[in-house]
Amino acid sequence: MELRQLRYFVAVAEDMHFNRAAERLHIAQPALSQQIRRLEHELKTTLFHRTTRSVELTDTGRVLLAEARRVLADVDYTLAAVRHAADGETGLLRLGFVSSAALQVLPTLVLALQERWPRLHLTLEEGTTDRQIEDIREGRIDIGVAREMAPLEGFVSQPLAKEPLVAAVPVNHRLSEQGRIRIADLAGERFVVFPRRQVSRLYDHIAALCRRAGVELEVAQEAVQFPTILGLVAAQQGVAIVPDSLRALHLPGIRYLALTDKDAYSVVSMIASEDRRQAPLVDNCFRTAAVLDFAAAFATGPDRLPLS
């Protein structure tokens, strides 16, 4: 039995007329009649009562019609699913992200992907940039949302946004009412920072900004999680330089101050391995991200920075 024969049978059963069914199928009526006879011969049963004026289903024909419709619907669904997968519209996409991106960048990206590709199944894995690079190399994730991604052999990187950096200071700090400061204004302060061994890229970027401003990055406390860093600032253990999106964490006892230094920003990028970049799912994600305005999510208004 061929799928073509089932489609021919359903057409005749629905039209109850060989000529009309043949016209709808764009085949000759004798060829259609021949295929139906072959199907009846294979099934060893009669599917239609034929007269010179009418065509009626037999009891076995009615059973086959119900089953044929089900089979053809399943086939059509399977073919559509394969086409969607080939086009990157469905399937599993494993997405890594740095924790700071979870506040602004990640929600914007995930909502856009779900709206544009509703059949896409996403799994999300939090990890540092270095961890994401390793996970991509080992095939544990497909795409990463990373910070301060320098050129790396075997990887492609697409900048998403230049996120402003801000200073987080205790509410009673000498600068807390300023609103906007320079990094140089933090000279003599002690800092709450990420452990360099775990968050090396952002740590090195902030340390370089401080050196450029003539500020020594004197470490008071270390913490991996941003809420912990901010909690230590609120406890007056030091000040911190953090991504602008952390303004969304309205912790009591903290003031966020915009930094006016021209390089006081952090680049958030989408990364993938070169050999996976052209995979339909990955390509769709990159193309979707390319048209999103991630900077609009940041809180600094006129201090937002374009990508170029």
Over residues 160-192, the pLDDT tens digits come to 999 999 999 999 999 999 989 999 999 999 999
CATH number of 3-86: 1.10.10.10
Angle at 265 between CA 259 and CA 268, to 5 degrees: 150
Do 91-160+266-303 and 162-265 come out as alike in CATH topology? yes
In the structure, what pLDDT confidence band is assigned to residue 299 with cuts at 50, 70 and 90?
low
Q: Which CATH superfamily is domain 91-160+266-303 in?
A: Periplasmic binding protein-like II (3.40.190.10)
Give the mean pLDDT of 247-260: 91
Residue ranges per domain, the chain? 3-86, 91-160+266-303, 162-265
Over residues 185-214, the pLDDT tens digits come to 999 999 999 888 888 888 999 999 999 999
Percent of the chain with pLDDT over 90: 50
pLDDT at residue number 136: 94
pLDDT at residue number 119: 82
According to CATH, the topology of domain 162-265 is D-Maltodextrin-Binding Protein; domain 2 (3.40.190)
Residue 308 predicted with pLDDT over 80: no
Residue, of 144 and 306, whose pLDDT is higher: 144
| Residues 257 and 166 sit within 8 Å (Cβ to Cβ) | yes
In the structure, what pLDDT confidence band is assigned to residue 87 with cuts at 50, 70 and 90?
low
Residue of 88, 74, 190, 208 lying closest to 148 (CA atoms): 208
In the structure, what pLDDT confidence band is assigned to residue 304 with cuts at 50, 70 and 90?
very low
pLDDT at residue number 306: 41
Residue, of 136 and 83, whose pLDDT is higher: 136
Residue, of 258 and 89, whose pLDDT is higher: 258
Calculate the average pLDDT of the chain.
87
Task: Tell me the three-class secondary structure of the chain, residue by residue.
Answer: CCHHHHHHHHHHHHHCCHHHHHHHHCCCHHHHHHHHHHHHHHHCCCCEEECCCCEEECHHHHHHHHHHHHHHHHHHHHHHHHHHHHCCCCEEEEEEECHHHHCCHHHHHHHHHHHHCCCEEEEEEECCHHHHHHHHHCCCCCEEEEECCCCCCCEEEEEEEEEEEEEEEECCCCCCCCCEECHHHHCCCEEEECCCCCCHHHHHHHHHHHHHCCCCCEEEEECCCHHHHHHHHHCCCCEEEEEHHHHHCCCCCEEEEEECCCCCEEEEEEEEECCCCCCHHHHHHHHHHHCCCHHHHCCCHHHCECCC
Residue 75 predicted with pLDDT over 70: yes
Over residues 114-146, the pLDDT tens digits come to 898 888 888 999 999 999 999 999 999 999 999
Percent of the chain with pLDDT over 70: 92
| Residues 158 and 270 sit within 8 Å (Cβ to Cβ) | yes
Over residues 45-72, the pLDDT tens digits come to 899 988 777 788 888 888 988 888 888 8
Determine the angle formed by the axes of helices 3-15 and 18-25, rounding to 10 degrees: 130
Residue 238 predicted with pLDDT over 90: yes
Give the mean pLDDT of 273-300: 84
Over residues 28-42, the pLDDT tens digits come to 988 988 888 888 888
Residue 108 predicted with pLDDT over 80: yes
